[in-house]
Structure 1
Amino acid sequence: MEISACFLASSLLLLVSSTSATDSKNNPADQLVAVINKNRTSHKSPALFDNAGLGCIALQYIKAYQGQCGEVGDNKKPPDSSFLDTFAPNCGVKPSTLAPITGRLLACQGTYVSPEEAFSILIEDRRSLQILHNKNHEEVGAAVSGTDGGAPYFWCVLFSNGTTNSSFVPQGGVPKTVRPGCFSGNDDDCSGAHGSSSAPWTMVAGIWIALACALAV
């Protein structure tokens, strides 16, 4: 009876971990883009194309700050040459498809906030509002990442006037997966942007219980 209960417990843990991994539909970077487009359309500006290559580059933009929240500001930002030399290669984006960046929004917080709250933090003054509604934008890419899986948390939005489906094009059609963090446009669930997901640990626990059961037989 004890052995049956043991195997039942391990099976349930493995089932829960599998369900968590497959059913999670949570990418805060995509949610931020949705908030941005909703705000734009409510102000009679067109919605922007969510470009996965640009989203990946937004995540690289975050990583250039190396977790230094105090470095965020107008006078301290990655040089434009980083897009060609570092960001595009790290994302697997073809350099020849890079398009001009027409706007940048970046914020850093000591605690994780929802995409809606992040939007309010990013759009904090008239200048950022002008960036949001700039008529030159055609596409957008967003990213969010903690530092080594924890605080501080960076949110980044990049805008471009590139042509849909022909700018920021990744090799093979899919940008490289970069962790920690999430970027928009890639259909990737990323509930772990503000910490490690519990699913892997649940799976490990289930495996250990199963092994213990086998040894007890």
Structure 2
Amino acid sequence: MTQLVLATRNVGKVRELRQLVSQVPQLADLEILSVGEDFPQVEETVESGVTFEQNASLKAHAVARATNLPAIADDSGLCVDILGDCPGVFSALWSGTHGADQANIDLLLAQTIDVPIEQLTARFVSCVVLALPDGTQRVHFGEVRGHLTRDQRGTNGFGYDPIFELPDGRTLAQVTDAEKNAISHRGNAFRAVLPDLVTLLS
């Protein structure tokens, strides 16, 4: 059995990748491990990059070296057009505290309070890097476009999901997990890396 390590402690990301891999018959023998579940001794990687690709690459290569196994990492964020693609790579830190979802939302809404709602176009972007212990890598991007909304709607998401409105009028926090996986930026990026995993097994 071939093993792959997902460079995250986020159980949601692990579940998402396992679900995607389970749908590919050629990957039936691939075991998805994670830093959080299987390698807790591996230290957190400092995300010192200024692009999604740089941060994902830093994490993937660090875990590949530490475990001597192929590793996958992603870096994702919200890019608001009127703000020059900010918060971008600083999405989780926008309010100054990592992962303070409500504070990040409050700050972003305050910064765009005078912007006409029709101009609040935005996109979620994800970069996924597959790194091998020998230093080689494969890079894939995914995105989903929408609009910011001034009211928070839905409880099934995290981060900026409650204020990111899809073309059908629902926010990302109002869709089911299966629906989100089918259209999300990270789901799109993970799906793009699946052929690389098939090649890895062949």
Task: With the length of structure 1 as denominator, give the TM-score of the two structures.
Answer: 0.26
CA radius of gyration, larger in? 1
Instruction: Name the structure, 1 or 2, with higher relative contact order (CA <8 Å, separation 6+).
Output: 1
- Structure richer in helix, relative to its length: 1
